[in-house]
Structure 1
Amino acid sequence: MTTSLSSPTLPSAPASSSTLAGQVLGPDGTFRPGRLHFGARITEVEALDRAPDRWIVPGFVDSHVHGGGGGDTMDGPEGVRLLARQHARHGTTTLLPTTITQTWEQVMAALGGVREVMEAGGVPGGADLPGAHLEGPFISMGRLGAQPPYAVAPAPPLVAEALASGVIRAVTLAPELPGALEAGLAFAAAGARVGVGHTLADADTVTAFLRAVRGAGGRVAATHLFNAMGGVEGRAPGPAGALLADPEAYLEVILDGHHVHALSFLLARAAAPGRVVLVSDAMRAAGLGDGESELGGQPVTVRGGRATLGGGALAGSVLTLDGALRRAVQAGVPLAEAARMLGAAPAASLGLHDRGELRPGLRADVVALTGDLTIESVHVGGQPIPLDRPCLEMP
């Protein structure tokens, strides 16, 4: 199967005609009172003089999510279905099931599981799946973070096999690995967003890598900026500094109160206006509360919304994107701008031009929020998502 990364089509079953009134976020980035008319796609945004106290925003797009609701991408199709349903309840209408570094056979099996779910028409009651994020195994053994020690260099046969799965929408690469540049160009040519992460590279290496991929027409990004790549120093800006300085890179940030300080988030916002992408990096424990879990076969403990390995290192997150939205607003970001970090920016970073904004002709991926930014309703392609579990409080 060859790579096919055009925007996915909507399910053949049409959504019934619906309306939703409130303060509607327009493509110009401002809220205005209005009524949204939609089936599977938005048909009209009707202007109103007054509207209910409800925020209506584009559905959230999560480009980096390993699991949730007890499911994990590495589990295969059923794990993908579980995580897609869990995150949809929290406003995520599009997501990329994300792999973790494991044996190559396990990684390819996980990609096959994503493909199986996509070919079956997606996940009823869950987020749309336009592809997968290949986060492992083309990363540095020196910057594994919470990833198991199965990292390998992106040799051409492995890259070709991954691309042949037909589902790669985003990839993470450590630029210092042998063959990383050639791999980045191959993924970019196939339409995948190329992210830099889990890397020991210096700033010059990262800068040259980003320029080469952009020069070939590719879209570039930081995989969870600041995490698993070191910080920024005056004489050693490192990967984070190179990514912050790049004029076109999208910057993933895990805004869960544990991975990134609020000031570091605001630094990214100042450096890359319109290009900050909030992600969950969620693991299977997301939505299950405190207790014991696992990530890539490693025991994980969740306490107070913080997931750690046995030695105390962070192990992914239990974040959902409604929590990330509230944290962004608490940090001082206007709601309209924060909503862009969850909708328009990630959609653009992934080349998904049929979503991310509320305008006629686009997918009816819609989230309604109460005045205190609690999820009130979610529609994926016009279909309502059952909110049969209470929304989690912000960790």
Structure 2
Amino acid sequence: MLGSRIVSDSAVAVAGAGILYAGPEAGLASGLAAELPGAGAGTLNEVQLAPGQLAVPGLVDLHCHGGYGTDFPSADAASARTALRRMHAAGTTTVLASLVTAAPDDLLSGLEVFAGLAEAGDVAGVHLEGPFLSTARCGAQDPRWLRAFDPDFAGALLAAGRGQLRTMTYAPELPGAHELVDLLTAHGVVPSLGHTAAAAHDAGASLARAAAGLASARASGDPDLAMSGSVASGPAVPTVTHLFNGMDPLHHRSPGAVAAALRAARAGKAVVELIADNVHLDPYLVATMFELLGAGNIVLVTDAMAAAGLGDGTYRLGPAEVLVQNGVARLESGAIAGGTASMLDLVRNAVTAGVPLEAALRSATEVPARVLGASGKIGTLAAGATADVLLLDAGLQATAVMRHGVWISEG
């Protein structure tokens, strides 16, 4: 897969942690091959794809609370790294670590842990799902810790993130939401509308404000107003946290935030998250969203929690206990509490639902990379990009994974 197209008779050449060449196989001239480490010594490694195999960029997950028994909101660095290695080996080579709403000290300490992991290159940064969310649409978020915008606490969160806070989910109807959006965008943090009971006009106005603020931050080029590698170098659009989940259902007399999100995404002024795990969303709806909005305005996300990659049982999601039965995670109240599918599961589910493979892959690679301000660096097979490569068989199962130029495995 080159760019957003599946192309036959192609080649990808890797040197160190980066891609040296990606394009037609005929274009990989002998002169270029000689530049690769080991070529002159006859030790150049070459992988020929079998019939039906496909090389695609490593997948990018913008919303992940953990997996393989590890709950990111309560994890230490060592346990988080162990889970991340397994996620990487399963094909998700870039992960944005998501923290749910929790006690203030827990949020701050979680940010500090994952800021360190981001600085080390283990994660792409942090996504805060809260705490400025609606109690009416809290879902699995603990209502004890939800609050209206507090500038002092918001400043403390930004400081604890050390420039690694990438996105924050917020409810636009809460007091002070405009000020929160302005603060986030001024720091290059992508506002993500969600867990909201907002009316359509309010939600639409907030998304427009967020888009304007991000565009201003990007245009300024001021490094003090944007994190390194953040949206300052990417698209000036906000996101919508797990569209349809954590918000009022679309109703013809009360359209709510869903209608505003759809209009903004259709206009290219927002990117919506879809959890295509066949639990959070019906497959028919997933295919409908791709047809109506286009893959370029959609990111597939797992919303994964500690049970992802494992079996049924009892797990944690931040301060909450979660029971997983038949792969579905729920609180005691019955509320869905995160997902258990992988990014590759989502791609397969979307394709089974009728989404073209190129479109599903684009929403799992190129589009989330743009949200992170990392276009051309991750989520693509192109010269100059990081060498994150996923080899798939005809059934879209992973057969090999390369991250940063190194072949990896779960073992």
Q: How would you bin the TM-score normalised by the shorter chain?
A: 0.7 to 0.9
Show the counterpart of 1:57.
56
CA shift for structure 1 position 257: 0.9
Residues in 1 aligned to 2:132 and 2:79: alpha-carbon distance in whole angstroms: 23
- 5+ unaligned residues in a row in structure 1: which ranges? 1-24, 124-128, 389-395
For residues 30 and 118 of structure 1, the distance between their equivalents in structure 2, rounded to whole angstroms, comes to 31
Offset of 1:297 from its aligned partner? 2.8
Alignment of 1:151-166 (within 5 A): 151-164=146-159, 165=161, 166=163
2:7 counterpart residue number: 31
Instruction: Measure, in 1, the Cα distance between the counterparts of 2:130 and 2:83.
Output: 19
What residue number does 1:15 align with? none
Deviations 1:194-228 (A, max 9, x none): 10000011111000001111122142111000001
Shift in CA distance, 349/196, structure 1 to aligned 2, threshold 3 Å: same
What is the CA RMSD across the aligned residues, in angstroms?
1.6
Whether 1:362 aligns to 2:350 is no
Pair 1:205-2:202 in alignment: yes
Instruction: For structure 2, list consecutive stretches of 5 or more residues without a partner in the other structure.
Output: 27-47, 216-235
SS at match of 1:98: strand
Distance change (3 Å), C-alpha of 1:101 and 1:308: same
TM-score by length of 1: 0.87
1:43 to 1, 20, 25: 20
Partner residue in 1 for 2:366: 344
Q: Deviations over 1:161-189 (max 9, x none)?
A: 12222211111010011111111121112
Partner of 2:135: 141
Trace 1:256-295 onto structure 2 (pairs within 5 A).
256-273=277-294, 274-295=296-317
Q: 1:293 & 1:192 partners in 2: Cα distance? A: 30
Q: Which residue of 1 aligns with 2:247?
A: 229
Which of 237, 244, 251 is the aligned partner of 1:219? Answer: 237
Q: Is the 1:250–1:276 contact (alpha carbons within 8 Å) kept by the matching residues of 2? A: yes
Query: Which residue identity is paired with 1:132?
Result: V
User: What's the offset of the Cα at 1:293?
Assistant: 1.3
- Answer yes or no: is the 8 Å Cα contact 1:72–1:83 preserved in 2: no
- Match runs of 1:44-123 below 5 Å: 44-48=21-25, 52-53=50-51, 54-74=53-73, 75-119=75-119, 121-123=120-122
Q: CA offset at residue 51 of structure 1?
A: 5.4
User: Which segment drifts farther, 63-72 or 305-314?
Assistant: 305-314
Higher normalized helix content (fraction of residues): 2
Aligned length: 358
Instruction: Indicate the residue corresponding to 1:5 in structure 2.
Output: none
What's the TM-score once normalised by structure 2's chain length?
0.84
Structure 2 distance, partners of 1:141, 1:208, is 21
Decide whether the 8 Å contact of 1:192 with 1:219 is kept in 2. Answer: no
Identity of aligned residues (%): 35
Letter in 2 for 1:254: I
Q: Give the distance between the partners of 1:92 and 1:311, measured in 2 at CA.
A: 31
Is contact 1:67–1:79 with CA below 8 Å preserved after alignment? no
SS, match of residue 287 in structure 1: coil
